[in-house]
Structure formats: C-alpha cells, structure tokens
Structure 1
C-alpha cells in the first residue's frame, strides 16, 4: 500500500509527545554566540516528530562539494564533506528543555550535547543553550495542513543477499516537507573526528564508502506527487525523490512498518518502528495572544504593524 493509505487505515499517535507547537519543519534564521558573533547563512533544518528529531546542517550551496564518486574527491573536498552534519535522535521534553539521546549521526562525536531551552511565539521558536554559549532563532516553515508521520528506521536490508545496508535513522513527513536519515550499516569506532579520518582515506574507495555510508536528506512535495530532495549530506541525491511512497505494510505486531522497494535494481526492505501516523495536522504559524495582549496589539497596530511580514 502507499504511505497515504497506511496513514488512512492505521492512523495513530503516541500517548507521549513534545508539545504541538514544536512539531513540523523549522529552518534556523540565526545563531548568536556569547562572543557577539552571529551566523545567518548556514543551512540548518530541524524536523520534529512526536518523539524524535531529524537535523541537517550544511554550508552554502556554492561551498558544498559537487556530486562525484567518493574516490575522486580531493583532501579539501573530503574535509568539507566530512564537516556536513545530519542526524536523528529520540527527543524528551520536560516542560522547559528538550534533550536528545539514542542518536544516529554522520558525525562520530556529539557536536551539540546541550539540551535546548525552548519557547515559541508566532512562527519563531527561540532556543537557548543552558550554558549561555548561544541562542538560536528557528522559523516554522509554511505548509498546508497535512500528514504528520514519524517512522524510526530499524534497518534497511538487501533481500537478494541478506546484507544490511543501513541501521538506524528515520522518516519524518510534516505536510509539504519530509526528511530521511539512513544510518551506517556498521558503526565507525575512532577517537578522532570524521574529517580527519576522511582525509586519511583519500583515494581509498572501500574506506570512504564505509565512512560515508550515511544519508540525511530534506525534501519538499506531497504524498500524492512525492518529495523531491532540496538539501542532502549526499550531493548525488539532490533533486531526486526522497523515497518511493508505496510498498508499505503494517506488521502483525501493530508497532512496526515494513517497506519493500528497489534500490539500484536490488530488492530491499526497510523496517520501521512507528512513532506517529496522523492524517491531518495543522502547522499553525501563529500562537495567539492573551486577550489583554490582543487589545494592546490592535490599539497600537498603526505602528506595531507598520512593516510586519512573515519570515
């Protein structure tokens, strides 16, 4: 069945969840550090399901590496590629802070170990680092009401030879936006950074394939027409479909979903654990006013609304 049919037949949501105002696709507008410096240029994407997060961080398009075989990259290109960031992780909300654990990450160490102190007003979600090291300004990306899907990947297997292609990851669909994470088949154990390992492996096809056997991709589209990738840790995936939207089935335990699909001509299977399957969610840009605040805003709107716009 298609993903849309799966949602319609077996819709559910978990009893535990982050708040509804945290759900959807956010892009970072800025990060400001304690030293007074601010970055407004890095591509940073945050997609939130009920109980897990997908995150992608990339340099500007003209500073990303071109799509080609890993063995063809220079040391400098490998350094750039190995500084991409993509991950998924379970998320826990305590009423004030969001923390993450059990992650699947391209990087070999946790670059963002702090929990997030969060508050949202309108489409703006502000994240404070508890240490005071930085503050981030996130903006909910517009979407028509639509599906909210969270499927956490257990494994992807080649059915022809039984080999594991990927372990860990996940799929989040939030209306017009979607993201996919595919973790490495086997973990890379090292006491140095990924960028250093990549530089050491220049020209070594087998080693590079192991290091970069990982994907985080963000896409735009719909359940009817598919989701086309706009940003990815894998340059060759840009403008491709994120994933086929058919071949899904609910397993008898009612807690897992299987997808059968073809990858590079080989029959494959993805096994997911269900976080949420919701057919209709409203990704509301506004958070509303108290009655007193609404009266104040309307009373002073000639100046408060002089230059307002959605950003």
Structure 2
C-alpha cells in the first residue's frame, strides 16, 4: 500500500472528537506563528475554538466590562474564536460558524485535513495557509455534551460543549457587526468607549473539570475577568438553561437561555 493514500484518506468527523492544540500556522508568504495559544474542542459534529495571541495582556484589575478602557478593547480585539458545526464539503471540511468573535468574512472557513504521523495537517482551500494540530493526551471516549442556546429576549446565541473533562462556552454579542472588517478595525472606529466595550463583549471560554464530579473552572477567556472563575449551569428545566454571569457593571447576573438543541449525556 502507498503510505500517502493511508494518511490522506478521508477523515471521519467523529474520529476528531477531543481537545486539539495548534503548534504552527504558516502562510504562503513564509509568515509563521508558533506562539498563539489555540484551543479547538471538537464534539461529534460541533466545535468551539479560541485563539489568543502571546502578546495579549492579562488585565488583572479588570473585574467586569465597565472596567475596560478603549486601549483594553483594542488589545482584546486581536483575539479570535468561533463556534458552530463541522461538515464535509466534497473532499474538504467546512467549519460553519454560529458564533464568531471576529466580524463575518466573505470567504467560508473551508480546508483539507490529512494525517502526517500523529500530526493533523490542515490546509486552506480558499486561503493559502497550513496549520499543525495535536490532540491532547488524556482524551476520553465519553459522549460529548453539546447545547445550542438562544436568549429569546434579544436573539443572542450561545453554545456549550463538553468532552471528557474539557469544556468550552461561546456567547455572541448583542449588537450588529459590520462584515468584511476585522474587529480591531471596527473597535478603532467605535463612536465612544462604551461602544468599544460592546464590540468586544463576546465570550469564548475554555476550561476543565478539576476532578471527576468537581467544579468547572475557566482557564482562558476572551473576557479576562472570567479567567479563574467557576462555570455553572442548571439543566433541570425542560427547555430553559440558567447560567450565572457577571453584568457589565460587575453585579451578579443570571442568564436564562432557551435550549434550541441538545446532544449528548444530559
């Protein structure tokens, strides 16, 4: 058999379940990035992805959205992240986004996947890039839990995904975003500081369960005041999921989400 045929055989999406970390992205002009911290959590079909540049400040004194300055918002705008579902598109794979930290771009997120030994190689279809992915050790075969949520009051959408002891949560912002621009460009044109804060008020958080049956602790988040906090949710209702949160002014807030779709071990 030709080894290349084995490594480039079609990869079934369910076989990608787990937490993936990126070691490299390279563009055709030779530019490389090996320092951005990337978390890609993949369920049976759904995914959440968070990308934070190494230069991102930690913002230890920011406890809520109202604490952010205009310069803070500019720094936060360089993050990336998205959530949605992964589907095949001919020989390629398409990451269909339901929540996106950056404004919607004109080209879909489509690429090709193949194995190179234990490394998953992703190459862009419409954009010339190559990414190297590595599945985290300790992967568990437990059934992923996926929740697709909607706030019926304002139309805001959110996604929760848990695979083993890893979990991610993505919540969209509630104001419209101009397409075709980067978030940094959009924040640069914000009418005032409060508008800039609203533009970066999109949560994508990654965390872990410390031990079996233990609490869910957020390790990384687009919202710096969420890092190190507990993530809690109540699934006892048939259609409503309640999630404690922090209001823009720092007060406690409980969000009531309508379950649009549930998949997994709930």
Q: TM-score, normalised by structure 1?
A: 0.69
Q: Which has the larger radius of gyration?
A: 1
Q: Deviations over 1:250-274 (max 9, x none)?
A: 63xxxxx532344354443222333
Work out the number of aligned pairs and report it: 248
Greater share of helix: 1
Which residue is 2:188 aligned to?
199
1:81 to 67, 76, 83: 76
Which residue is 2:199 aligned to?
211
- CA gap of 1:23–1:210, structure 2 versus 1, over 3 A, is same
Q: Within 2, Cα distance between the matches of 1:111 and 1:176?
A: 35
- CA gap of 1:188–1:63, structure 2 versus 1, over 3 A, is closer
Q: Within 2, Cα distance between the matches of 1:238 and 1:111?
A: 32
Q: Within 2, Cα distance between the matches of 1:79 and 1:202?
A: 13
Q: Deviations over 1:158-192 (max 9, x none)?
A: xxxxx44x722311111121100011234334664
Which residue is 2:217 aligned to?
228
1:273 to 235, 260, 266: 260
Which residue is 2:163 aligned to?
174
Root-mean-square deviation over aligned CA pairs: 3.0
- CA gap of 1:185–1:210, structure 2 versus 1, over 3 A, is same
- CA gap of 1:70–1:244, structure 2 versus 1, over 3 A, is closer
- CA gap of 1:138–1:275, structure 2 versus 1, over 3 A, is farther
Whether the 8 Å contact between 1:25 and 1:47 is mirrored in structure 2 is: yes
Please state how far the C-alpha of 1:73 moved relative to its aligned partner. Answer: 4.5
Which residue is 2:59 aligned to?
66
Q: Within 2, Cα distance between the matches of 1:190 and 1:112?
A: 11
5+ residue gaps, structure 1, are: 1-16, 158-162, 252-256, 280-311
Q: Deviations over 1:89-147 (max 9, x none)?
A: 22212463210335211111338734120123564211011257121110001225253
1:142 to 134, 137, 145: 137
Q: Deviations over 1:228-281 (max 9, x none)?
A: 11211111111112x215x21363xxxxx53234435444322233353048xx
Which residue is 2:242 aligned to?
260
